[in-house]
Structure 1
């Protein structure tokens, strides 16, 4: 029999071994259609999806339930080594027809963010509640993507700020009610249509205990904003396995703080200020890319603080800056992304609110 001392040593060694295998961050993959005939920009073909899922299996990735993993990260509980989560937006029927068999065969859990208007009117291009119930039996989870997939920050003509917020509240609460009514539960997760939110919308999520996703790329960690979480798109231009491998091995940028100047871009070039945590990082290898413009200009304010500035203003629409930095091993990249909205007056966006 082991003595208490030997048992304690063995337990300590086992704990250390488990800790070494644990992961304190989570890459989340985002898909829409699984089809060769739907719009290429938001689609992955069944062959591409099979290739990606086979890679996850062969490379030893642990596909985890999204909500459970988010809860663990928030509580600073370790995830399995090489943990990754799979998600879909928009409740397209191709997910059931082409994606689900591939996931079921590999026993991979997944989450689908559903916009309920086409589901409720029984559109043949979208999932049915019965199909969702079937998918739930094999790891499927169904979450909120609003009723009608609106631009959540745009007001209708003549609409007051109060009426706009009431309409957005209804977009969220109605879907929560339909999930409860038809499936018996809600995971309390939401994906913002087009990735757009502001402080009022994010406060609404927090008040309801809903974790929400934007469309900036990156990995989730305990330091993330759980009302504006990142994901990696894995469809269309991002479906290539070679680039996906880099993202699957990404780590969260080790930031102490960030300053983005708000949710909206103006007629001036955007800039972000990033302050890094204490530690030995390859800061000289930090690179920031501006969508459609190339590299951002980097100004080091101090040894641990940098400002990245775009060369030109963004065009109307959504623009982003992605920053990456190799870790000390060179096997992983730290990853950070921020998205801004450049609106035009005719779009009716609500004003920036603090």
Structure 2
């Protein structure tokens, strides 16, 4: 059954991704304390900021959400989250989730300590898995088999979850992939073990989303500007029922393919859709509820992605958003930071 326009807003949410709240950290992953306060104050006044767990579980179970549901997340567990972000969230009574690396906690001065984590958790902050030590999960050791690789990285995930549970008394079984990197084998393992996965590609989420790789909008660095961020926060999860790409990790850098995805909503304005790769517009073709795009390029080593948007037919100013990441290792089987 096709998704109705009325249901679209109640079957969508946006997850925001932050790292640092500081003026003295890398600009690409930072918002200043003033920027963060501006973001959160605007969200508190205009959106329903909900716990990440409430949003994901509602969508998994096809339960309705408020039409303006948003979750706030941080990666890496930096101390400036506590110093500059936590007071803002507490004053506005906004929930949030921090994905941390247990083996990094308390190791450096710029990291949260376990005492910090416990105090924040007591204040209502959720903590979730970002692997033990922020490894590149797709890196292969020399002569390492696929089976040995999966066993190694999954042992890392399980050990991180055990340490999180021991310190907080809570196991969400949520994993944010370091650097947003994952492949089909890893995603399938998450599903088998009952985990929900979060990437670093963009887009809204819906009940049609892949719950082993949910997108999050970065809101720091060059993405911190409020005008474009407001448009992204208003995004709707693209109701994709079929995607030609089932594995974002590729072995060949050269790609010359026409790929497609199919939607399940009369509200998606596909005739007005646009797709972009590295800022360049791609040729698209629409056939009913299927959008095809042609990509002819050399993919870079590391991470890249295609973004496709289509306006809502019923909600002016809101766009359905679909993001397809690609991951390519170097010749030695490893990934750059």
Q: Normalising by structure 2, report the TM-score.
A: 0.92
2:243 corresponds to which residue?
Answer: 258
Q: How many residues were matched structurally?
A: 327
- Partner Cα separation in structure 2 for residue 143 and residue 327 of structure 1: 33
| Deviation digits for residues 124-181 of structure 1 (CA, Å, limit 9, x no counterpart) | 1111111111112222000000011111111122333332222101110111110111
1:111 corresponds to which residue?
Answer: 97
Q: 1:322 to 1:123 in 2, by over 3 A?
A: same
1:84 corresponds to which residue?
Answer: 70
Structure 2 unaligned spans of 5+: 1-5
1:144 corresponds to which residue?
Answer: 129
- Partner Cα separation in structure 2 for residue 207 and residue 281 of structure 1: 32
Q: 1:145 to 1:270 in 2, by over 3 A?
A: farther
1:34 corresponds to which residue?
Answer: 21
Say if 2:17 and 2:73, in contact at 8 Å, map to a contact too: yes
2:3 corresponds to which residue?
Answer: none
2:203 corresponds to which residue?
Answer: 218
2:40 is the counterpart of 1:58: no
Say if 2:184 and 2:246, in contact at 8 Å, map to a contact too: no
Out of 57, 72, 95, the position equivalent to 1:71 is: 57
Q: Which moved more, 1:139-148 or 1:200-209?
A: 200-209
- Partner Cα separation in structure 2 for residue 21 and residue 137 of structure 1: 35
Q: Equivalences for 1:122-133 in 2 at 5 Å?
A: 122-133=107-118
Say if 1:48 and 1:239, in contact at 8 Å, map to a contact too: yes
2:330 is the counterpart of 1:344: yes
Q: Tell me by how many angstroms 1:105 deviates.
A: 0.6
Out of 310, 313, 325, the position equivalent to 2:310 is: 325
Q: Identify the structure with bigger relative contact order (alpha carbons < 8 Å, sequence gap 6+).
A: 2
Structure 1 unaligned spans of 5+: 1-18, 350-354
- Partner Cα separation in structure 1 for residue 51 and residue 204 of structure 2: 15
2:185 is the counterpart of 1:187: no
Q: Tell me by how many angstroms 1:21 deviates.
A: 11
Q: 1:162 to 1:38 in 2, by over 3 A?
A: same
Say if 2:183 and 2:249, in contact at 8 Å, map to a contact too: no
Q: 1:303 to 1:112 in 2, by over 3 A?
A: same
Q: Which structure has the larger Rg?
A: 1
Secondary structure, aligned partner of 2:298: coil
- Partner Cα separation in structure 1 for residue 334 and residue 217 of structure 2: 29
Out of 224, 228, 253, the position equivalent to 1:243 is: 228
Out of 259, 276, 279, the position equivalent to 1:289 is: 276
Q: Tell me by how many angstroms 1:270 deviates.
A: 5.3
Q: 1:238 to 1:206 in 2, by over 3 A?
A: same
2:152 corresponds to which residue?
Answer: 167
